[in-house]
Each structure stands twice: as structure tokens, then as C-alpha cells.
Structure 1
Amino acid sequence: MDIIKNPHDSLFKRTLGDKEVAVDFLENYLPNSILKEIDLTDIKVAKDSFIDKELEESFSDILYNVSIDGKEGFVYLLFEHKSYFDKMTPVQMLGYILDIWKLYNKQNKNEKLPPIIPILIYHGDRKWKYGSSLSELIEATSEAISDYIPGYNYLLYDFSNYSDAEIKGQIKLRLFLKLISHIFDDDFDKGLREVLPLLIELREKTTGLEYIETVVKYILNIGEEISLNELDQKAKNISAEGSAVIMTIAEKIYHDGKEEGKVENMHEMIEFAMELKFGLSSKKIVQEINKIDDYERLKNIKDAIKSYDSLEELVKNIDI
């Protein structure tokens, strides 16, 4: 099984970076008082991320461009997946909101800045305990002084507190929310029991298998130490049909890994052959070849190395 560098980020963006799932989440979890002011029919997912590099292991974010009360606005979704409490999260979120406004101002010379609705999804192994307002972190003062202290409220969702009945939405959204609410459980069997029926249902959807693969990889990278075979055994104990879904994905992961291994091996052979025949001057070309993941194409390049006496001739006659 491949080790995913940041599995939380991968699952979060694969799920809520999908416009259909994003709308599903906002329609089901935004307060009605806010939802009635927002038009989600033309929602856009921005490509920008505002997380500091050193905090990427702890946070992920998505910015949605929406219409608020008929004007341009944003919904900013911050996904916190630290393994410890950090009361400074609202301060960090404020910094990201300011960065969004700075970028907006740079790109649009409007007189006023757009409204931003901040949402924090907390995903830790303990319950969130800091409230949903920046002011709760600041020492209380008289009203005369507090009027001049920056503050804002944010919408907070800690889905570990939600019952099964409270988790709403279409299949992908419910699957995501159940996963993040159970993944840190001491015994993941209960979570798997809730997730498997959704995996079975999702299998029938057009892009279902791709998302199921994302989910299985997430479980194997984040949950209790468990192999693919152990996961399959747990699934069998719950549902034979669920086990079949897991094994379908297992075969795909195995096949992809095998193909990836062949490609990686071919990259190494080409690099060795190029340096042996053309010396260090071939390094730039090797870097370009290493971007190719088509095994047959790589095999043709390797065979072509024998046919040419100069690097220039080789480059001229192969497709890189």
C-alpha cells in the first residue's frame, strides 16, 4: 500500500472539492438564516490554498466563490486535523481570511471587500472545547475597550459529536463525515459497520469506485495499523457484499502498484543507459523522461537509446 503524504488533505479535497458535494454540505449544514442569503447555483471552487507550508500537515482548506445577497462573496472551509487541541486555530483562521481579502483586493480594485463566511471542521481525536468565536480567546475588558478589539464568529462542526441520524447528505458526504467521526476510534469496527453499507451503495454510481479507492487508502493510512487483508477480514465479518467491494479495490490497488513498480524500474534503467552512453549532459532529458508514466512509451525510449550515437539525435527522434 502506498503511503499517502497527507491523507486527510487528500480525502478532504477529493470530497469537498467536488462542487456537487460542496453544495450538498452547505445546504445540509449551514444555518437557514445564512442559507437563504446565499445562491449556490453558480458555486465555484477556487484553486488557491492559504495554509502556511509548515501547517499543511495540520490544516487543509477550500475557498468557495458564491453569491451572497446578490453580490460576490466567499465561503471559507478550514479542515483541522491536528492530533491535539490548539486554541490558536481561530487566530490562524483570521490570518487566512485576511490573506483572502488581500488577494481579492490585488485582483479586484473594488471599493469594498466581499463577505467571507468562515467554517471550521474539526477532526481530532478529542472533543473541541474552545467555542466558535475569536473573542473567547481574548481577555475580557470593559465595553469601551472591547469595541476596538478585533473579533469574529465562525461556524464550527465537530462531527464526532453527531449521531448517525444527524449525519445528513448524499452518499459521498455521509461517507466522508462518518469516516472522520470514527477514524480515531480505538476500535474501528463500529465505524466500518457504518461505512460499509455506503461503500456498497456507492459502488453502483458512475464514479463510485474511484472514490471508494480514496476511502480505502485513507483508512489504511490513518486508522489503526491494519493491512488490506485485515481490512477485508473485518469487512467479511460484517458483510460479504462489503468484503467484495473492498477486494475489488484491493485488486485495483495491487494492479496499479505493480504498474507503478514497472514504470519506476524502467525510469531507473533509462537513466543508467543514458548516463552510460551520453554522460552527465543527459540529466535534463532524463528529468523530462521521468515525467512519463506510460510503460510502453518508456520501453520504446529505452530501445531507441541503443540506436543513436549522440544525445541530439536521440532527442530529435523520440517523443518527449
Structure 2
Amino acid sequence: MAHTHDSGYKLLFSNPAFIRDLLLGFVPHEWVRQLDFATLEPLNGHYVSEDMRQRHEDMVWRVRLRGDWLHIYLLLEFQSTPDRFMVLRLLSYIGLFWQQLEKQGQLTDDKRLPPVLPLVLYNGEQEWPYPTELAALCHPPPKDLRSFQPQDYLLIDESRYEEEQLAGQRNLVATLMRLEHARDVQRLQAIIEELLTWLRLDDQTALRRNLAQWIVRLIRRRVPRGEVPELTDLLEVNTMLARRDIDWGAKWKQQGREEGREEGQAALLLRQLSKRFGPLPEWAVQRVARAGGQRIGQWAEAIFDAQDLEELLGTADDGA
């Protein structure tokens, strides 16, 4: 249920090799080939609004395109349910980002705001069903106002890529997707062996370590807790999966069944909450999505005694 590997995912995308492969492999525009990846660098993704009430920790990179800076605003979306108003969120985030650049004097040579590519990488199992254009969420404006409407963002939905599309690519992001979608231990091990064949350089040591730690977190989501040790080397992970004295396949299937039960419980609870309290705010959906089976059961028992969502689930900002 809970995406305990989120921090590891963000760590991977803090590596320029992942950003490069994300752009080259999944942004279907010819100008990507003109990017000077030698200039690719991360920026501080911490932006605070004027009243200090909002704070965003999304990932921002910049890279030279024909001599000018292009900023990549990357939002890693780990929600189990897609957000219909994602484009509105991104519009707010990028506005804060531009505001910060203006305050710091980081404008183009002609004193304008630099271009930004809003990019959402979504890794939920449910396919993203919503449009990426803000206009699709708004009441149609009069014809004379249409040209003044904000635009859209670029969505990369992992669920839309099949193994056949991703296999054979020497691309870190494609490989990451394949690892996440691996349905059995044998396929997972085969992908790890592919990584071992082309991540051999000394300057890739940190990348191999980060990948190993992320894969360990992934495996821990697939097998019962306490079964997987802390490993920081891809070869060690591969060796662990090759052990003949442990039936990783059986453990993988067992955990899959348990996760399936929890997902069913969560879906049922969300339906009950909607009937009890009406349309659910996003924070409530995410709280249920990230909860374990025991907590979901407790909420299901208390649903008819609670006066409102806040009493049942806690408040949107209490960090529970």
C-alpha cells in the first residue's frame, strides 16, 4: 500500500543520468536532441509563497537549449489515484518557481522569465484518465478569451508502457519502469543482470548504490517484512535473489496476495467514506491509500461513529 520507496525514487532522480534518460526516452519532441546535457544541473526545489504558507519540494533542473537555459520542473507523482486537478497544482507550483527566479534576478539576457517544461512522472497502477490541458477543466470561455488561457503539462504515465516497448533500451528510466512492473522474481533478476552489464564504470558507483537501495525497497514491498537485509550493491542484490535455499517466488506471490487484499479493503473504505461524507478531498484519499490493513480496518469500524472526515482520519496537515 504505502510507497515506502518514494524517498529512494527521488534519490534516483537526483542523478543527472536519470534526468537525461527521462528526457531522451520519454519526451517525444525533436528539440530534446539539441539539449546540451553537459550543462544539466539541479536547482533548489524549495519554493515558498509570499505568505509562507505553501512549501514545495519538487525537483527542478536546468539545461542549455541553443545557448539558453531551459528549466525542467519534475513532479514525481506517487498517488495511487490520479489527480484530476494536477494541471492546476502545477500552474501554482510553476508560478511560485518563476516568482523565486524573479526575486533572485535569474532572468534571461533580455530580462524575461526563462522557459519551463512542466513534467509529471506518474507511477500508479491505474492509468491516468484526466486531460493535461487546463482548458478541459474550465468552463469554456468566450472565443475572444481563449488565447489568454494557460496551457498544459507533459505527462509520463508508466502504466501506458508495455514491457515490449521498454525492453532493449539502454535507458535508466525505462529500466526503472520494468523493475516496478516485474511480476515475478525471475524477471526482476534478469533486469538486474542487464543493469550489471552496463553500469560498470567507477563514476557510476553512487548510481549503482542508489539503484541497489531502491531495488531492496521494491523487493520489501513484494515479500513479507523482515526477509530482506540492507544491501547497497547491485551484485549483492542479484546474489541474494539467486540463493537456492530461499523460495523468493513463493514469498513474492504471498505478499502479492496480501497487497491485493489491502487494496480491496482500501477501495471499499473509500466507497463507504464517499457515501457517508460525500466527495472526498485529495488528502483523505491519499491517507487511505498510504495506510496499512490494520489502520483501514480501524477506520472502517469507526466510520459510522465519526461526525466528519477530520474526526475519523485526522486533519489534512497533522502528518498522521
Q: Provide the TM-score with structure 2 as the length reference.
A: 0.60
SS in 2 for 1:147: helix
Question: Could you tell me the percent identity over the aligned residues?
Answer: 21
Amino acid at match of 2:224: I
Q: In the superposition, relative to structure 1, how do residues 125 and 163 fare at CA in structure 2: closer, same or farther (>3 Å)?
A: closer
The match for 1:40 among 30, 37, 44 is: 37
| Letter in structure 2 aligned against 1:164 | E
The correspondence of residues 86-97 of structure 1 with structure 2, limited to 5 A, is 86-97=83-94
Q: Is the 8 A contact 2:73 2:117 kept in 1?
A: yes
For 1:75-224, list aligned pairs within 5 A: 75-108=72-105, 110=107, 111-149=111-149, 151-167=150-166, 169-170=169-170, 172-180=172-180, 182=181, 190=183, 192-203=185-196, 205=200, 207=205, 208-220=208-220, 223-224=221-222
Q: Distance in 2 between matches of 1:35 and 1:24?
A: 11
2: CA distance between counterparts of 1:68 and 1:217?
A: 36
Shift of 1:42: 0.9
Give the alignment's Cα RMSD to 1 decimal: 3.4
- 1:270-299 Cα deviation digits (max 9, x unpaired): xxxxxxxxxxxxxxxxxxxxxxxxxxxxxx
SS in 2 for 1:152: coil
Contact 2:37–2:63 under 8 Å retained in 1 = yes
Aligned equivalent of 2:286: none
1:31 to 14, 24, 28: 28
Q: Distance in 2 between matches of 1:55 and 1:177?
A: 31
Unaligned runs of 5+ in 1: 183-187, 232-240, 249-320
Matched residue of 1:7: which SS? coil
Contact 2:37 2:64 in 1 (8 A): yes
- Structure 1 residue 210 displacement after superposition: 4.6
Paired amino acid for 1:227: R
Gaps of 5+ in 2: 230-235, 244-320
Deviates more, 1:107-116 or 1:6-15: 6-15
Alignment deviations for residues 21-65 of structure 1 (CA, whole Å, 9 cap, x no partner): 221221122223331453222100123245999999xx9732111
- Could you give the per-residue CA deviations for residues 77-121 of structure 1, whole angstroms, max 9, x where no partner exists? 111111223211111111111111111111116420000011111
1:67 aligned partner, one-letter code: R
Taking the aligned partners of 2:54 and 2:35, their CA distance within structure 1 comes to 30
Identify the residue that residue 262 of structure 2 maps to in structure 1. none
- Larger relative contact order (Cα-Cα within 8 Å, sequence gap ≥ 6): 2
Indicate yes or no: 2:9 matched with 1:12.
Answer: yes
Please give the TM-score of this superposition, normalised by the length of structure 1: 0.60
Larger Rg: 1
User: Residues 6 and 159 (structure 1 numbering): CA distance in 2 closer, same or farther, change over 3 Å?
Assistant: closer
**Is contact 2:70-2:114 (8 Å) kept?**
yes
Number of the residue aligned with 1:226: 224
SS in 1 for 2:37: strand
1:112-171 superposed Cα distances (whole Å, 9 cap, x missing partner): 00000111111223110112212111112331132333x222111111111112226436
Q: CA deviation at 1:243?
A: 5.8
